[in-house]
């Protein structure tokens, strides 16, 4: 009866520690992936910044397409797309649910070329050079750029990178603290068993070996569960993750999974080792505190 109770309690302790470790490693893994992809996310944001090259009203389609080809051949420009006045009018008609062209008697819109630059050319200095280049063609009326957004984005991306590293370090320390607390609570419930083994003459390694092995297994299981949960999150949310240019199928992201498993094993081993040493050296009077 006592043996069954002890086995049940050990099983409950094992599961509770695994669950707490899995949650902590899951959060740490998610943040690590975001940190690894921070540079690509920043590049993606910059490359999706849209410049509108508005052409003059009297420009024909042939001239507009000629300018489009010039833009497409420029290595600084990632994509260029021509939106004719007719296409723009049709889009606006669908959005307003009203035919404003028929109401006005003419189409007041101009042909527009939507331009997206390579990331390195979205910096303020480079952007000004590109803007002057886009304006240089005589058929261009104006170039529309959301400069406030551009300056804000460039100013904050580097700050966010440093902040992300700081948060990652803090999160790692918090993770170690939480895992350490879970393991200490688990060992605390076995402190009388540990003392009994000492009293009957069990050696140091004989006592700690099963706890160390259990801790390593807990860490490995927690790491695998956390990795599996992260992959499932990616699998079912890959649509919006792809929009952010996050693809954990890449080698630099897949390395997170074995790292989480090894990290779980290492933290569990170290926390268990130090906790065991504490209770092995504890005075018998303090066992009841």
- Span 63-82, pLDDT tens digits: 889 999 999 999 999 999 98
197 with 263, same domain? yes
Strand partners, 51: 115
**Cα 35 to Cα 150: distance, rounded to the nearest angstrom:** 22
pLDDT at 9 exceeding the cut of 70:
no
Residues 160 and 261 in one domain: yes
Q: What is the mean pLDDT of residues 1-20?
A: 65
Looking at 71-80, 168-177, 249-258, which range is the least confident one? 249-258
Q: Which two tokens stand for residue 78?
A: 């990632």
d(C-alpha 76, C-alpha 117), whole Å: 6
DSSP per-residue letters across 144-181: E--HHHHHHHHHHHHHHHHHHHHHHHHHHHHHHHHHHH
- What length is written for the chain? 289
Q: Which of 121, 145, 169 is the last residue of a domain?
A: 145
pLDDT of residue 225: 93
Kindly write down the DSSP assignment for every residue of 70-129, as one continuous string. HHHH-TTEEEEEEE-HHHHHHHHHHHHTS-HHHHHSS-----EEEEEE-GGG-SHHHHHH
Q: State yes or no: pLDDT of 286 exceeds 80.
A: no
In the chain, the number of structural domains is 2
pLDDT bucket at 130, cuts 50 / 70 / 90? confident
Residue-number span of the structural domain to which 158 is assigned:
2-42+154-288
Same domain membership, residue 266 and residue 138? no
In this prediction, residues 178-193 reach a mean pLDDT of 71
User: Which of 145, 164, 193 is the last residue before a domain boundary?
Assistant: 145
- 195 and 274 share a domain? yes
Q: Which residue has the higher pLDDT, 77 or 39?
A: 77
Q: What is the mean pLDDT of residues 187-205?
A: 75
User: Phi/psi at 236 (nearest 5 deg)?
Assistant: -85, -15
**276 and 222 part of one domain:** yes
For 190, the 3-state DSSP assignment is coil
The reply to whether 59 and 165 lie within a common domain is no
Q: Tell me, what CATH number does 112's domain have? A: 3.30.70.3040
pTM confidence score: 0.62
């Amino acid at each position: 009866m006592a043996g069954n109770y002890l086995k049940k309690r050990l099983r409950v302790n094992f599961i509770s520690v695994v669950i707490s470790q899995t949650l902590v490693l899951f959060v740490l893994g998610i943040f690590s992936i975001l940190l690894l992809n921070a540079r690509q996310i920043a590049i993606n944001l910059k490359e999706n910044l849209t410049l509108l090259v508005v052409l003059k009203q009297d420009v024909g389609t042939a001239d507009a397409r000629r300018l489009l080809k010039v833009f497409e051949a420029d290595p600084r420009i990632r994509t260029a797309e021509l939106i004719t006045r007719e296409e723009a009018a049709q889009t606006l008609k669908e959005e307003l649910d009203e035919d404003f062209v028929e109401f006005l008697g003419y189409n007041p819109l101009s042909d527009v070329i939507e331009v997206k630059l390579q990331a390195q050319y979205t910096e303020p200095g480079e952007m000004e050079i590109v803007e002057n280049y886009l304006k240089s063609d005589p058929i261009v009326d104006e170039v529309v750029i959301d400069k406030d957004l551009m300056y804000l984005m460039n100013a904050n991306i580097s700050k966010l990178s440093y902040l992300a590293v700081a948060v990652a370090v803090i999160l790692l320390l918090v993770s170690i603290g939480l895992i350490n607390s879970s393991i200490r609570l688990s060992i605390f419930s076995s402190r009388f068993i540990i003392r009994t083994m000492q009293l009957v003459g069990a050696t140091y390694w004989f006592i700690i070996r099963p706890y160390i092995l259990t801790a390593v297994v807990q860490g490995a299981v927690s790491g695998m569960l956390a990795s599996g949960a992260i992959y499932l999150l990616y699998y079912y949310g890959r649509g919006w993750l792809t929009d952010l240019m996050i693809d954990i199928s890449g080698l630099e992201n897949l390395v997170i999974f074995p790292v989480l498993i090894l990290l779980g094993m290492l933290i569990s081993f170290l926390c268990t080792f130090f906790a065991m040493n504490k209770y092995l050296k504890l005075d018998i009077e303090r066992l009841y505190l």
